[in-house]
Amino acid sequence: MGKNIVHKILENHLVEGALAPGGEIAIRIDQTLTQDATGTMAYLQFEAMEVPRVKTELSVSYVDHNTLQTGFENADDHLYLQTVAAKHGIYFSRPGNGICHQVHLERFGVPGKTLLGSDSHTPTGGGLGMIAIGAGGLDVAVAMAGGPFYLTTPQVVKVHLTGALPPWVSAKDVILKVLDIMSVKGGVGKIIEYGGPGASSLSVPERATITNMGAELGATTSVFPSDEVTRTFLKAQGRESDWTEISADTDAHYDDVIEINLSKLEPLVACPHSPDTVRPVASFSDLKVNQVAIGSCTNSSYTDLMQVATVLKGKVVHPDVSLVISPGSRQVYKMLADNGALGDLIASGARILESACGPCIGMGQSPVSGGVSVRTFNRNFKGRSGTKDADIYLSSPETAAATALTGTLADPRTLGDPIKVPQPEQFLIDDRLIIPPSDHPEDVVVRRGPNIKPLPVKEPLRKSLEGEVLIKVDDNITTDHIMPAGAKVLPLRSNIPAISQYVFSAINENFAQRALKKDGGFIVGGHNYGQGSSREHAALAPMYLGVKAVIAKSFARIHRANLVNFGIVPLEFADERDYDQFSQGDLLIIRNLHTDLKEGNKILVVNVTKNREIPVKHGLSPRFIDILLAGGLLNYTKQHA
Ligand code: MIC
Ligand code: SF4
């Protein structure tokens, strides 16, 4: 039988295991990327491994999240990142150069290669035909040190595209349709491979919008073929020599196939507070909108912003709407400036921000109380915008632009004659904000400001675990609930004692104080616990507070791995109805966990308060078990060095 693209690339990189569904494999990582909010931890961990120079083909450190400098913290972190990069063989993309995923797509991504990034939207690279996976910073640090990346062999789902997008319908509407079909947990344990005749009608940035937001499906990653469209894009980026063709064999096997006819799609939005609550824009009649935000790694390419500029040219945004725009990269920004489109945007009343994540991660531009914000971003989790009671809708740039003009959620098809901005034959290439690693690393002094605190390390797993249920939460709890971001909390990413005070603060006022006072305990969760971001702080900070195990109905992939990496045991109910047997405050004991994990015995959680014994399972690979026994990946790596 023929091979799909996923298996072709994985096979080329396989260092351990076999590509049999459900088994564990290890793959070689060619490229890594980090961003500043996860990067400081990743590099502290890399330094702890005492490897002088990265062993990847390419590693890039981006600064794009923590760019608001309201105190010394972020500036300190940036200086640390710049110096540690110079010393250890890492390229450094300076603040102002753009969002990691957009810049990586433009300047570094290579079809057929593997990319591991400490950010959940790393799958953006799948738009170029890469296997690009998001992971915790510690996994990325291990990859930089030359270690492989371990994952459960994913199922491969094909999304077979036919037809072509109608006017005013765009790539964002394609991925919203996929989210509508599969839901935020439909992609867990899967890689989504796009193909079919419709795929060749989509440009690389359009493909990247789709693979980027595949993260919201819970999928391991998403990938497109590398074809003539890919070659044209790389040529326009002055990198045609990086191109290779990658396609699936005609008789390739897939675990599942989803058919989407692009011609039948219409403008869609994801409604509050989940990316899979999808509705047609046309089904809204009069939704008043206070803010429109255009940008983020999902929708801030040159063509995205040119579409917006063309719609807004000569017009002014509605008096009740605040329009903010953040271009995805310096390349995009400068091209808009050079061709006059930036002037059109400014004239329309848009508030132009720097080229960074900005409002997407709550770094400024929080909407008005109880307000409605339409954003071209990828996540609309409650509170992520910085305003707890705001309603966030996710849309395409075209829908966002139409809405900015009318003041109500607007179908772009009402804008009249279609516009379609062509991809430029030549992008503006200027890499002077990307600093190559030093040729004299021995002379580089790594600068650590007072915000950078040493890494807390856990002791090996205890024989038995005992403590209270510190919190019980519902299904689909996101890492934004566990470890919020935003302008106030993000600067503390290098300071675990300080940031841990905010764990669960969005949903539970004094979790941190309670956890510390009780000497830690347990978390009880529903399905898809830990969905969303790759931030390992959602494991590291609870670990610091003494959380010993999370017992849930099911876990999101990256978060489950992060829990293991930091020595917190992820357990699943054998029978999910047992979730009802737990309340906050119950006293739990898991006896002989150490031995039972090691010997593969059944594990029982004793709920002392309710006087019941509840069977749980874990499905952890032998390697994951060894990591837990060692007290986390850092200890494990040291033991195996
Ligand atoms: C996000 O979009 O949530 C982030 C911020 O980019 C995160 C990473 C982080 O929390 O630092 C992600 O998606 O992994
Ligand atoms: Fe940045 Fe938002 Fe993309 Fe995360 S999702 S990398 S915060 S732009």
Domains of the chain, first to last:
5-264 (3.30.499.10), 268-415 (3.30.499.10), 465-639 (3.20.19.10)
Nearest alpha carbon, ligand 1 atom 9: 535
Residue 330 near residue 96 (C-beta atoms within 8 A): yes
Q: Tell me which ligand sits closest to the C-alpha of residue 100.
A: 2
The sign of the torsion formed by the CA atoms of 355, 43, 383, 556 equals positive
Q: What is the pLDDT of residues 529-586, one digit of tens each?
A: 999 999 999 999 999 999 999 999 999 999 999 999 999 999 999 999 999 999 999 9
In terms of C-beta density within 10 A (0-12 exposed, 13-18 middle, 19 or more buried), how is residue 426 classed? exposed
**Ligand 1 pocket: which residues have CB below 6 Å?**
37-38, 65, 119-121, 134, 361, 485, 533-535
Q: 527 alpha carbon to ligand 2 midpoint, in Å?
A: 24
Tokens of 43: 């590099």
Strand pairing partners for 62? 93
Predicted local confidence at residue 510, as pLDDT: 94
Chain segment 380-419, per-residue pLDDT in tens: 999 999 999 999 999 999 999 999 999 999 999 999 999 9
What is the percentage of the chain residues whose pLDDT exceeds 90? Answer: 96
How far does CA 227 lie from the centroid of its chain?
26
- The closest residue, in CA terms, to atom 1 on ligand 2 is 357
Contacts of 163 (CB under 8 A, 6+ apart): 198, 261, 262, 263, 264
Q: What is the pLDDT of residue 22?
A: 82
Closest CA to 602 of 586, 589, 591, 587: 591
pLDDT tens digit sequence for 138-182 = 999 999 999 999 999 999 999 999 999 999 999 999 999 999 999
Q: What is the dihedral of CA 621, 622, 623, 627, to 10 degrees?
A: 100
Q: Could you tell me if the CB of 67 is within 6 A of ligand 2?
A: no
**pLDDT tens digits, one per residue of 424-465:** 999 999 999 999 999 999 999 999 999 898 888 889 999 999
Q: What is the pLDDT of residues 585-634, one digit of tens each?
A: 999 999 999 999 999 999 999 999 999 999 999 999 999 999 999 999 98
The answer, yes or no, to whether any atom of ligand 2 lies below 6 A from the CB of 216, is no
What local confidence, expressed as pLDDT, does residue 222 receive?
99
Atom of ligand 1 nearest to the CA of 480: 3
pLDDT tens-place string over residues 27-36: 999 999 999 9
Residue 120 Cα to ligand 1 midpoint, Å, equals 6
The residue contributing the CA closest to ligand 1 atom 2 is 533
> Looking at the annotation, which residues are catalytic?
64-65, 119, 379, 533, 535
C-alpha–C-alpha distance, residues 278 and 287, integer Å = 15
What is the chain's length? 641
- According to the model, what pLDDT value does residue 449 have? 93
Indicate if the pLDDT at residue 229 is higher than 80: yes
If one counts every other C-beta atom within 10 angstroms of the C-beta of residue 601, the result is: 11
Cα separation, 411 vs 282, in Å, equals 6
Does 378 contact ligand 2 (Cβ within 6 A)?
Answer: yes
Ligand 2 atom 7, closest CA? 361
**Could you read off the pLDDT of 253-285 as tens digits, one per residue?**
999 999 999 999 999 999 999 999 999 999 999
Using DSSP's 3-state secondary structure scheme, residue 347 falls into helix
Q: What is the spatial distance between Cα 534 and Cα 127, in angstroms, rounded to a whole number? A: 20
CA of 558, closest atom in ligand 1: 14
How far is residue 302's CA from residue 333's CA, in Å, rounded to a whole number?
8
pLDDT band at 640 (very low <50, low <70, confident <90, very high): confident
Helix (H, G, I), strand (E, B) or coil at 256: strand
> If you take atom 10 of ligand 1, which residue's CA is the nearest one?
535
User: Does ligand 2 come within 6 angstroms of the Cβ of 99?
Assistant: yes
C-alpha–C-alpha distance, residues 339 and 335, integer Å:
6
Q: What is the pLDDT of residue 428?
A: 98
What's the gap in Å between 600 CA and the centre of ligand 2? 39
The distance in angstroms from the start CA to the end CA of the chain is 40
Cα–ligand 2 centroid distance for 328 (angstroms): 10
pLDDT confidence tier of residue 21, bands split at 50, 70 and 90: confident
Q: How far is the CA of 214 from the centre of ligand 1 (A)?
A: 14
Task: Measure the CA–CA gap between 104 and 122, rounded to whole angstroms.
Answer: 9
Nearest to 175 by CA among 147, 209, 204, 142: 209
